Amino acid sequence: MLKRTFVHLPGVGFRTEAHFWRQGLVTWEDFLVVEGVSGLGSARLRWLQAELQQSLVHLDEPGYFAPRLPVGEYWRAFRHFRAKAAYLDIETSGASWPHLLVTVVGLYDGRAMRQFVQGHNLEEFPEALEDVDLIVTFNGSQFDLPVLKAYFPHLRLPPLHLDLRFLLTRLGFKGGLKRIEPRFGIRRPPAVEHLDGYDAVLLWERYQRGDRTALDLLLEYNREDVANLETLMEQAFEMCQGLLVGGGPGDKLSAFNSQLSAIKKKRLKLTAES
DNA sequence: GAGAAGACACCTGTAAAACT
DNA sequence: AGTTTTACAGGTGTCTTCTC
């Protein structure tokens, strides 16, 4: 998907990208061998081709694409950097900063789940993040990452951050994580099915008073939050990509953004009716 | 080659939303 | 309850094409 993307090039927006796709210039390779493109002067075409060559040179560097891609289009890089992607969710004491305490951090790389607990191994978390290129959260841009950044001032965050909240909203799935999960067929174990973030605060307080089972439950709740992010990300990516490549080349590709918009309106209408 | 018209990217301000 | 990023809409400036 990354190599079908042109909006990371200077002066290329969604309309121009759609224009390229309509002309059969679907991938970087297509664009690099073309002699002329309507709407583009030859000098600008050569300049854009040189820029694409640079994109190929830096293909495996997330830090190259992060400042160039619109944030809302980071999902296009998901598959490419998936091998070094991680899913993250934190629990806190619920207080306001500077009294806020990070109690649990869950980090899942698609193979192994790691959890970092206040008073046990929380200080190991920054190191665990060092090898991650792409982080996936739900509303992390507004909660998890700012909190972690404040808590660990020298934390190195991955170059690419995918916030599922906004990607799912674009696909027509509005609401919090717990509300959206069932719509993707996700069901939580009975023990944590009805828990929310505030319950996580209460569980931590119970644990502080000596109830070890409260911590176990809190960790299970956090594991569910983190693991489900992978399921949601996979399906959201499939939905987005399916709109691009599902039915054929050019025309489907060019209609992508308008289809996203149409789907969003349709879902909102259905939600309102139901 | 110059001017006009159109298309487009980009900037700014505002409102909405979900996390613990 | 506070935070703050994002989506969205509207305005503006730039670039390209077209016509003469």
pLDDT tens string A35-94: 777 777 777 777 788 888 888 888 898 888 887 787 778 888 888 999 999 999 999 887
Give strand letter and number of the nucleotide nearest A18 (CA to C1'). B8
Q: Is the CB of A13 under 7 A from strand B?
A: yes
Cis peptide, bond prior to residue A98, ω within 30 of zero: yes
**Residue among A267, A5, A221 nearest A103 (CA):** A221
Percent of chain A with pLDDT over 90: 20
Per CATH, is A82-273 categorized as 3.30.420.10? Answer: yes
Give strand letter and number of the nucleotide nearest A39 (CA to C1'). C16
pLDDT tens string A161-198: 888 888 888 787 877 888 888 888 888 888 888 888 88
Strand B: which bases are under 7 Å from protein Cβ? Answer: 7-10, 17-20
The domain locations on chain A are: 2-59, 82-273
Per-chain mean pLDDT for chain A:
80
Percent of chain A with pLDDT over 70: 86
pLDDT tens string A2-31: 888 888 887 777 777 877 777 778 888 888
Chain centroid to Cα A256, Å, comes to: 19
Eight-class DSSP state of A201: H
Instruction: Encode burial over A199-236: b for 16+ CB neighbours within 10 A, e otherwise.
Output: ebbebbebbeeeeeebbebbbbbbbbbbbbbbebbbbb
The helix/strand count (H/E) of chain A reads as 12, 5
Q: Are A103 and A94 in contact (CB under 8 A)?
A: no
Chain centroid to Cα A135, Å, comes to: 7
In the predicted model, what is the mean pLDDT of residues A150-162?
85
Give strand letter and number of the nucleotide nearest A222 (CA to C1'). B20
Q: Which pLDDT score, from 0 to 100, does residue A98 have?
A: 60
Q: Per-residue pLDDT for A273 more than 60?
A: no
CA atom of A28 to C1′ atom of B5, Å: 32
What is the CATH T-level fold of the domain A2-59, as seen in this structure?
DNA polymerase; domain 1 (1.10.150)
Q: Which pLDDT score, from 0 to 100, does residue A267 have?
A: 37
Q: Strand C: which residues 220-259 of A lie within 7 A (CB)?
A: none
